[in-house]
Amino acid sequence: MRRLSAFPPASANVATILATPSQRDGHAITVEGSIRTIRNQKQRSFVELGDGSTAYTLQAVLDPQLAEGLGTGTSVAITGTWQAAPPQKEQPYELKAKAVKIIGAADAEALTNSIMQKYPIQKKYHSAEYLRTLPHLRLRTPVNALLARLRSECDYHLASYFRERDFVRVQPPIITSSDCEGAGEVFTVSSKPSSARAKDEVEATDSEKDGFFKDPKFLTVSSQLHLEAFVHEHQKVWTLSPTFRAEKSDTPRHVAEFWMLEAEIRTESLKDVMNLIEDMIPDLVGKLQDAGFMEEILYANRGAESANAEGAQFPELLRNRWQRLMQTPWPRITYGTAVKRLHEALDSKEAKFMYEPSWTTGLQLEHEKFIATAFGQGSPVFVTDYPRQIKPFYMLPSTLENGVENPQNNTVACFDLLLPELCEVVGGSMREHRLQQLSQSMHHHGLNVPAAGVLGQTITNSEVLPSSERGNLEWYADLRRYGSVPHGGFGLGFDRLLAYLSGTSNIKDVVPWPRYHGRCDC
Ligand SMILES: NC(=O)C[C@H](N)C(=O)O
């Protein structure tokens, strides 16, 4: 039997009141929120009240004595009559206040003798860089409130998407023993003794001297390997979890801590993995369009973004972006085709690149941008089958159209999904599920080869050491050693997708507390 929830149902917030303003015409209402701005005139004060439910504000009109002690940032409950505003007003209705209760004082207090200070985010243009210095306070701005809502809504829809398709949501570890991508961009975890303890090293226990764990451990760069452990039992799994990369590049597309949506499925075909993404993203975008706040994202004033030359076209550009995401199928080209096209573009002077495109160096951002435009023309593009030597150890060799392994064995069954302008947002592959081939690949990548996993040898259980005494990827080899099935999966940069969906040009502005080289505020 279902229990009735004791949590109060949603009360009228600013969004619901503004959505159907005439419904409350002449009613006495109380609205809670914080003051975005206050304008004091001789006869009246005008308060713009916001509450995070919408980027729009509700206007309250106050007699001067009710406005005492109010300032930007003050949290209030205003009770009054909801009534038609004079005809020239922007909003058709306003709240004629009868009583104001201060729930949390701010700003106006700063002008008296308290220790509080003037609210640092005023109703004027603040650059994105300035707001980034106040990550904890910019959360109170309308645009950031919208972005938080978008994040929450996407999480919800994606969870429903996977659940409806029988995926199990799993929670892989954050602290790991391996660098899954082998790119050397790991943060090492240490538990240094506190300074008081450090002075008295003699008293520190062995584990404190060596660090908490016996060997160096890392913050995860990808949950993929752990998802692979789950997929054997569950067939289809996914997670949305924090991921860490000590990447020093300070670009609008990188942060050191981000959320990655990763899924792993039992399949024999890379196409199934791409098909999943090509279904999941349009499904998400379609559902988001029903949410009222998406309209607000189109028109929200976002400082620099709205102020630039494209500001006026922003809503149209963004709406078009959402449409293109929903139009499938998306083009799929091989890495070989992409590199050939880049060379053609160079030869015909159609494009200039800072970096010469080549088979072995991978695609630079400028190359990806060109490919996304040339092949996608506004649509996302899958680039598949990259050279083995530039991809991690765990990828399965490419297969030809007829399902036969690529005889040259120089490419792997993988893809990157490029979005116009933003470029790589998803990376995925089929995983090498055969122990001996995995060992060989690890050998090629200079990794410790799993015990007795050398080609042509077999192992017995007696050779298996306890996990604490085995190489850090032995457990991963076990997933093959004790029976394995063909499988593949992908990782989607969740914050990058949110930036793309919301038209935010720098990922640091969709991540509430961005961490990047030299910065980890709050
Ligand atoms: N789960 C994945 O396939 C993501 C992949 N390991 C990456 O980091 O790009």
Q: What is the DSSP string of 191-232?
A: -PPPHHHHHTGGGS-HHHHH-SSSS-EEE-S-SHHHHHHHHH
Residue 517 amino acid letter: H
As beta bridge partners, residue 237 has 168, 264
- Provide the pLDDT for residue 400: 72
Is any ligand 1 atom within 6 A of the Cβ of residue 491? yes
Q: With 60 as the cut, is the pLDDT of residue 501 above it?
A: yes
176-180, 306-310, 508-512: least confident range: 306-310
End-to-end CA distance of the chain: 44
CA atoms within 13 A on the CB side of 388: 21
Position 507: which residue type?
I
Rg (CA), the chain: 28
Banded model confidence at residue 152, pLDDT cuts 50, 70, 90: very high
- What pLDDT does residue 50 have? 94
Residue 416 CA to ligand 1 centre (angstroms): 10
Contact 262 CB / ligand 1 (< 6 Å): yes
What local confidence, expressed as pLDDT, does residue 36 receive?
A: 92
For residue 107, the one-letter residue type is D
Ligand 1, atom 9: closest residue by C-alpha: 427
Q: Amino acid letter at 486?
A: P
pLDDT of residue 455: 44
- 180 or 346, which is more confident: 346
- Going by alpha carbons, the residue nearest to atom 8 of ligand 1 is 222
Whether 180 is in the pocket of ligand 1, judged by its Cβ within 6 Å, is yes
Counting from 1 in the atom list of ligand 1, the atom nearest the Cα of 263 is 1
Q: To test the ligand 1 pocket, which listed residue (218, 219, 245, 260) has its Cβ within 8 A of the most ligand atoms?
A: 260
Instruction: List CB contacts of 13: < 8 A, sequence separation 6 or more.
Output: 31, 33, 51, 53, 54
Count other C-beta atoms under 10 Å from residue 480's C-beta.
21
- The yes-or-no verdict on residue 236 having pLDDT over 60 is yes
Is 70 exceeded by the pLDDT of residue 405? no
Q: Which percentage of the chain shows pLDDT scores above 90? A: 68
- DSSP label of 431: B
For a ligand 1 pocket test, name from 181, 240, 270 the mutation site with the most ligand atoms within 8 angstroms of its C-beta: 181
Task: Kindly state the tokens that stand for 373.
Answer: 């435009």
193 lines ligand 1 (CB under 6 A): no
For 315-358, write each residue's pLDDT tens digit: 999 999 999 999 999 999 999 999 999 999 999 999 999 999 99
Kindly state if the Cβ of 428 falls inside 6 Å of ligand 1: yes
- Using the atom order of ligand 1, give the atom closest to the CA of residue 394: 6
Q: Which residue has the higher pLDDT, 22 or 122?
A: 22
Nearest CA owner, ligand 1 atom 4: 491
**329: preceding bond cis by omega (within 30 degrees):** yes
Distance 438 CA to ligand 1 centre (A): 17
- Please tell me if the CB atom of residue 427 comes closer than 6 angstroms to any atom of ligand 1: yes
pLDDT higher at 125 or 272: 272
Q: Position of tokens 């060992």? A: 439
In the predicted structure, residue 407 carries a pLDDT above the cut 60? yes
pLDDT, tens digit (0-9, with 9 covering 90-100), for 216-227 = 899 999 999 999
Cα separation, 499 vs 520, in Å, equals 20
Q: From the CA of 275, how far away is ligand 1's center (Å)?
A: 17
Q: Which pLDDT score, from 0 to 100, does residue 164 have?
A: 98
> 235 CA to middle of ligand 1, Å?
18
Look at residue 456 in the predicted model and tell me its pLDDT: 46
**Mean predicted confidence (pLDDT) in 377-396:** 95
Q: Which of 288, 47, 28, 346 is nearest to 156 (CA)?
A: 288
Mutation test residue for ligand 1: of 224, 240, 431, 476, the one with most atoms within 8 Å of CB: 224
Whole-number Å distance, alpha carbon 224 to ligand 1 midpoint, is 6
pLDDT at residue 127 above 90? no
CA angle 426, 432, 336 (to 5 degrees): 55
Distance from Cα 428 to the centre of ligand 1, integer Å: 6
Question: In the predicted model, is pLDDT for residue 40 greater than 60?
Answer: yes
Q: Which ligand 1 atom lies nearest to the CA of residue 392? A: 6
Q: Say if residues 48 and 36 touch (Cβ distance below 8 Å).
A: yes
Confirm if 158 and 285 have CB atoms less than 8 A apart. no
Q: What is the mean pLDDT of the chain?
A: 88
For residue 10, give Cα distances in angstroms to 22, 53, 469: 19, 11, 55
pTM (predicted TM-score) = 0.91
User: In degrees rounded to 5, what are phi and psi of residue 50?
Assistant: -130, 160
pLDDT of 29 > 70? The answer is yes
Model confidence at 464, in pLDDT bands (50, 70, 90)? very low
